[in-house]
Structure formats: structure tokens, C-alpha cells
Amino acid sequence: MCRRDNSDKIIMDNNLPADDPFREKRTAEGILEAIFQGKKIPMILGFKDVRAAAADWKTFSNNAPFRVPIPSEEGVRSVRQLPIETDPPEHTDYRKIVEPFFRRPKEPEMVEKVEALISALLQQASSKAFVEIVREFALPIQSRALTCLLRVPEKEAEEWISWGIHVFRDGNDGTAKGATLERYIHRQLDRATQNPSDDFFSALTQAQYQGRALTRDEMVGFANLTFAGGRDTIIQTIASIIGYFGEHQEQLETLRSKPDLINTAAEEFFRFISPLTHIGRVCPHATEVKGVAVQADQRISLCWASANRDASIFESPDDLRLSRKPNPHIAFGSGAHNCLGAAHARLLTRILLSQLCERVDRIKILDAKKHIERESHYERHLGYDSLVIQMVRRG
């Protein structure tokens, strides 16, 4: 049960943040006017309303450099992220440039590499008395798997791991972290220009956009999104899955006995966790959203996490059902701007689930510090800041 404190913030009656702090507003009004960085941003909450707005890029535009993420990122990067911070038809042409890399999770060679990677990390984790999952397990999986996706040497992952859970927000100085990322990208682009290969950075230096070469800022914009966009979301998905099985051993046993549920279970974890709470859009013209006036150039929010708990779409939405089907969740967004990295995230999650069933007898949680997303008008539990477990091998 949720209540409101004196600041109108939605919290739990037991003072613990809610997995779904949007339920009351979603049911009553369909919108929550929240404050981010000192500015009011209406959050669209209902599933059908979120999907409709995501499809209407003329009213709710992505053509807004730095302002699609919430909080906005003017202070932590110098370039427009591509292709996400554009609208069709430009978005369509930009997206085609990098789509071949983001389709690689369907290639047998990459599947085998990711299977070997996760197997090795599970073997390492289960050989220890305890392991901290967020930084010692989930972060290495995310970074090393990304080297497979981008066709770069695995040793590059060590530098990426040093950046932490989020390339901008893991630490106190986002500006410095953003500058570190951009220096790294420029080094890789310089290397690829001088000695091109079949890797992601070389593809950017050789790409054509509407009959011309990409500018350096465009190249950096593609790479910036690639490193920033799917990092903490994958890490928190992995950590949340491990934490869930630590609390619900019977569900691991169910999945082990019914391996045909691996794919549906993965989709249910994406819905249930919703690792990206929401994303911004900018209204080029004044409009109205659920009775709330929105001025020209004002931002709104598409709240994926709220939409994925909408009881009008999902029966018993607060229950994690490994066999939930159909499951039309929008954890990866919706419309033209749906997540480029969705296939990559699905591959990692399905392989993780499969190998947990095959290799791990049980998971014992030794210490857990849940990550709380604290904003002006809500607090939401999302993953972990730290999760220490003992992973017991099968057999």
C-alpha cells in the first residue's frame, strides 16, 4: 500500500520505496507531474497512453539533443547521441548505420562467445565463499559481452569496467566521467581511421549518411550512446535476477524443471524489473496530455516502468510469472525509437537463466543494499547498490 508524505512524494506505508510507486496516479489520473532538475515534467503512466505517445514523434519528439534522458545530459557530454536523439526520417537513416552490429546477437559465433563468458564467470563466482554481484559479476558480464557485440578485443573491457555502473552517474563528477568517455572514443576513432578493421569504430569511420561521410561529432554520438545506453540497465537486470532467485529458490527450481520457459521468463523479468524507469520527449508545439497543458519546448516523460505494471494489460502485474504469455511489455521502449540493444539484452538474459539452471543449485543472499531511485515525487526500488551472495554449484 502506498501513501504520500508531506511533500506529496509517493512512498510505501512501511517507508520502503515501492516497486510500482505509480499505481495510484496511473489508476486515478494516468499522469504524474514531477519535478526533475527544477522543471515540471508530466509523466505519462498508462500502458496505452505511453505506447500512443511513443508512436507520435511529431507531437512528442526525440529531436532534442541532451534532453531525451531524464535527467538531461548537457553537463556530461558534448554531442547529440545517435540515433536516439533524432526523429524519422533522419533517425531511420542513422539507425541503419549501426543495425548490423546490434543484430549480431543472432549470430551463432556471438552466442557461443557469450555462453563461454557467462559460464566462466559463474564458475568463478561459485568457486568463492561469496561474491558481490553488481560490480564483480554483472558489470564484467555487461562489459565483456559488449566487446563481442562491437568486435573489439576483450581486453578493452577492463577499461570499461573501471568506469563503473553508469558512465556518467557512478560517482560525484559526471562532467569528468563524460570527458573520460569522450577521450576514449576519440582514441578509438583515431586508431580505426589509421588501421581500420571490422570493428564498430572502424564501421563508423567508413559509414555513409545520406551520401556523405559521418562527421566526427556524429561518430562520437553513436559511440556515446552505445556505451551509455545499455549499461546500468543490463547490470541491474542481471543483479535483480540473481537477487530474485536468492529470495525465491522455488522459482529457480521451477525454471530448472521447465527449461522451455527460459524465453518467457526472460521477458517477464524485463517487464517486472523495467530497468529504465522512463525517458523524455520534447513537445515542439503546445499540447495537452491527460488534461495537463504542456507548453512548446516542454518535456514529457514516457514511463515504461508504470506502463509495465498496468493492470488493464497485465493480470496480477505485481506477480512475477515465469510463464506469463502474452507479455506485451515495453521495457525496451516502443515505436520507431525502440531500443537498439534489445536483442543483446535478451541474449545475455536467456543465457544467464539457462546457465543458472544448469550450474547453480541455490543462491544464498548474505548482504543486500537495494538501489533506490529517489526523485521529487516518487521513490522506486530498482536493483541493488550491492548484493553479496553465496552461489552453490550443482552436483
In this prediction, what percent of the chain has a pLDDT beyond 70? 95
Q: Would you say 194 and 177 are in contact if contact means Cβ atoms under 8 Å apart? A: no
Q: Would you say 282 and 297 are in contact if contact means Cβ atoms under 8 Å apart? A: yes
Q: Where does the pLDDT of residue 75 fall: very low under 50, low under 70, confident under 90, or very high at 90 and above?
A: very high
What integer pLDDT is reported at residue 129 of this predicted model?
Answer: 97
Q: Where does the pLDDT of residue 19 fall: very low under 50, low under 70, confident under 90, or very high at 90 and above?
A: confident
Mean local confidence (pLDDT), 271-290: 98
Beta-carbon contacts of 144 under 8 Å, excluding residues fewer than 6 positions away, are 117, 154, 157
Strand order from edge to edge, sheet including 379-393: 131-132, 379-393, 360-374
> Which helix (H) or strand (E) segment is 126 a member of?
helix 108-126
Q: Which three cell numbers stand for residue 232?
A: 546500468
* Residue 11 pLDDT > 80: no
What integer pLDDT is reported at residue 3 of this predicted model?
Answer: 40
What integer pLDDT is reported at residue 1 of this predicted model?
Answer: 37
Please state, in angstroms and rounded to a whole number, the distance separating the CA atoms of residues 34 and 285. Answer: 20
Tally of CB atoms within 10 A around 387: 28
* Residue 96 pLDDT > 50: yes
How does pLDDT run across 312-369, given as a tens digit for each residue?
999 999 999 999 999 999 999 999 999 999 999 999 999 999 999 999 999 999 999 9
Phi and psi torsions of 353, nearest 5° = -60, -45
- Domain 22-150+231-393 fold is Cytochrome p450 (1.10.630)
* Residue 70 pLDDT > 50: yes
* Angle ∠(61,55,237) on CA atoms, nearest 5: 90
- Domain limits of the chain? 22-150+231-393
Burial of 285 (0-12, 13-18, 19+ CB in 10 A): exposed
58, 331, 157, 383: CA torsion to nearest 10: 130
Q: Is the preceding peptide bond at 259 cis, omega within 30 degrees of 0?
A: no
